[in-house]
């Protein structure tokens, strides 16, 4: 409220009057009119988004799709490195350079260093995720991405020139920092530049990028099998230099997120950004001002609901529930047998499919990872919600893992057939995973987070993913290795039980965000609606916000009258 404090002039006798508080009704009227206009515009934009079909979204937001695809492509670089690290351990030239000689005369990277390299990037990613929560909200998406791409280009030099395995570990940690940033930025940016009709598809695209990064990685190694010199492992590292310049060129010209600009009070810049993300001529009903007012309305609503935008605020009030769900969804990816599935090459080798054949099957698995994303898109286009996909996927994953465990009961005389069956079941597992948990998790974490805390919430969730990944990277080799616990297929029982527990959690805690605006999700969380009732609960964010605005106004007027 605006008030004008005036002091009356002293009387001729020199006496002083107390200050009198007067309200400038003209200013108040102007503010009320502006607020009413914002509510009306936001309401119109919300209705249009609810009615927008997939094809209408594709026609109106082709530029947003393009920019989102470019930025999500950063995730491919991490997928590529993960593929290199895991497959280099069975690559003779790499082992001869960075491993130790065994009594048999062959070379092998020691188990402790295998664990160190696999977990080094995870540690770096956790650092990058935490740093990203501060930097992106302060400097914006574009500036942070530019710095991280330049940083990664420099770190690739360390990979390429590493004289020993200790240097490789340092490179993994340093490279993990920008990879952690990419993981959260790709999802947050995609969720903010697209309408409801496209939001689920473009947030899931990050998983597709992961898949093609892995596929290219194992393809490059497969192509190096004929080499025995140092270039057999240096060329795969050098290939990493291809991506940063290409992606950097796109990022430099990419528009900033209009949501971030509105949070910073740069409304006119937000309008310019929205115009660069859309093609209004293709839809005469589209109004930039209405869409920006919808973003402003959601931002104001979240300010009313939450008090701050720090990491600590992610664990306060209603945002604690949202942070918990996001962290759990990311963790579920690794608790549903993800690490175990990466050992399909090992089981194919146990079945006698040595040499390049095992890598060919692994390439098939990574191909499934990519095709599975399109499968998830098709299911979402058919009207199946994210929550339903998650629950059904966990059922399929748990069943597959238990079947893997029972295959371990096959007599040793049929070991070849059992190993082949296990490797095949892992491909079946990959289909279930990519059509559900592996893909929709990217959409869920981007939608469940509040806009003010989205960057930090997604960062915390991905950090939880990396912590679980570190634990898995330590446990799984012991489960599989014949010289350790030697569980073999019985590890399927462990991961099947873990997956079943994830299913129970998801049923009671993970809500359905499909078809909801961010403001509607804010109100549903504020009202503490059960996860099972999210999809059916009706909510009118404008009535709720208008009522809250009216109460706040009355309280402020009452306060000034008392003064």
The pTM (predicted TM-score) of the whole model is 0.85
Q: What is the pLDDT of residue 114?
A: 81
Q: What distance in Å separates the CA atoms of residue 271 and residue 277, rounded to the nearest whole number?
A: 10
The CATH architecture of the domain made up of 314-562 is: Up-down Bundle (1.20)
Check if the beta carbon of residue 327 is closer than 8 Å to that of residue 509. no
Domain 57-288 grouped into CATH 1.20.1250.20: yes
Please tell me the distance from the alpha carbon of residue 236 to that of residue 247, in angstroms, as a whole number.
19
**Contact present, 478 and 304 (Cβ < 8 Å):** no
Q: CA 226, 232, 236 angle in degrees (round to 5)?
A: 120
Paired sense of beta strands 107-108 and 100-101, if any: antiparallel
CA of 195: how far to CAs of 201, 275, 539, in Å?
11, 14, 19
| Residue ranges of E strands in 332-396 | none
Q: Where in the chain is the domain with CATH 1.20.1250.20?
A: 57-288, 314-562
Which regions in the chain score pLDDT beneath 70?
1-32, 307, 342, 344-356, 358, 483, 544-563
Question: Which among 54, 40, 43, 66 is positioned nearest to 278, based on CA atoms?
Answer: 66
Q: Is 151 exposed, middle or buried (0-12, 13-18, 19+ CB in 10 A)?
A: middle
What does the alpha-carbon distance between residue 182 and residue 128 come to, in Å, rounded to a whole number? Answer: 9
């Amino acid at each position: 409220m605006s008030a004008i404090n005036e002091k009356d002039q002293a009387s001729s006798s020199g006496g002083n009057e107390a200050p009198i508080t007067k309200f400038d009704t003209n200013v108040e009227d102007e503010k009320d009119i502006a607020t009413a206009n914002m509510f009306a515009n936001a309401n119109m934009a919300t209705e249009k988004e609810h009615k927008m079909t997939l094809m209408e979204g594709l026609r109106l937001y082709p530029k947003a799709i393009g920019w989102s695809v470019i930025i999500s492509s950063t995730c491919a670089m991490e997928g590529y490195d993960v593929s290199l690290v895991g497959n280099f351990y069975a690559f003779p030239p790499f082992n001869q350079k960075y491993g130790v000689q065994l009594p048999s005369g062959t070379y092998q990277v020691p188990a402790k260093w295998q664990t160190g390299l696999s977990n080094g990037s995870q540690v770096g990613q956790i650092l990058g995720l935490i740093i990203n929560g501060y930097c992106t909200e302060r400097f914006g998406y574009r500036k942070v991405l530019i710095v991280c791409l330049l940083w990664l280009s420099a770190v690739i030099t360390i990979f390429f020139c590493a004289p020993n395995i200790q240097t490789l570990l340092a490179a993994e940690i340093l490279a993990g920092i920008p990879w952690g940033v990419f993981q959260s930025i790709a999802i947050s940016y995609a969720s903010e530049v697209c309408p409801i009709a496209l939001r689920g598809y473009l947030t899931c695209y990050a998983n597709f990028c992961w898949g093609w990064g892995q596929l290219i990685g194992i393809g490059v190694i497969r192509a190096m099998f004929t080499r025995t010199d140092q270039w057999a492992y240096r060329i795969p590292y050098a290939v990493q230099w291809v991506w940063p310049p290409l992606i950097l060129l796109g990022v430099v010209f990419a528009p900033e997120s209009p949501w971030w600009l509105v949070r910073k009070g740069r409304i006119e810049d937000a309008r310019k950004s929205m115009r660069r993300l859309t093609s209004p001529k293709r839809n005469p009903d589209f109004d930039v001002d209405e869409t920006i007012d919808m973003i402003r309305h959601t931002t104001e609503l979240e300010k009313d609901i939450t008090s701050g935008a720090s990491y600590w605020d992610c664990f306060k009030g209603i945002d604690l529930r949202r942070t918990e769900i996001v962290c759990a969804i990311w963790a579920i990816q690794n608790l549903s047998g993800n690490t175990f599935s990466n050992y399909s090459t090992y089981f194919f080798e146990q079945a006698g499919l040595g040499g390049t054949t095992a890598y060919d099957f692994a390439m098939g698995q990574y191909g499934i990872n990519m095709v599975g994303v399109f499968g998830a898109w098709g299911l979402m286009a058919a009207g199946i919600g994210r929550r339903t996909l998650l629950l059904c996927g966990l059922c399929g994953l748990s069943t597959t893992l238990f079947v893997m465990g029972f295959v371990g009961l096959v007599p040793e005389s049929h070991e070849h057939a059992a190993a082949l069956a296990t490797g095949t079941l892992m491909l079946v597992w990959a289909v279930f995973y990519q059509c559900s948990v592996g893909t929709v998790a990217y959409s869920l974490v981007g939608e469940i987070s509040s806009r003010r805390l989205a960057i930090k919430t997604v960062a915390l969730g991905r950090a939880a993913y990396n912590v679980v990944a570190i634990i898995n990277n330590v446990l799984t080799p012991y489960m599989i290795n014949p010289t350790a616990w030697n569980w073999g297929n019985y590890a399927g029982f462990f991961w099947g039980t873990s997956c079943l527990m994830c299913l129970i959690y998801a049923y009671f805690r993970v809500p359905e965000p499909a078809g909801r605006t961010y403001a509607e999700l804010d109100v549903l969380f504020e009202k503490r609606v059960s996860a099972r009732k999210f999809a059916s609960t009706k909510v009118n964010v404008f009535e709720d916000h208008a009522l809250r605005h009216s109460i706040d106004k009355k309280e402020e007027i009452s306060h000034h009258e008392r003064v």
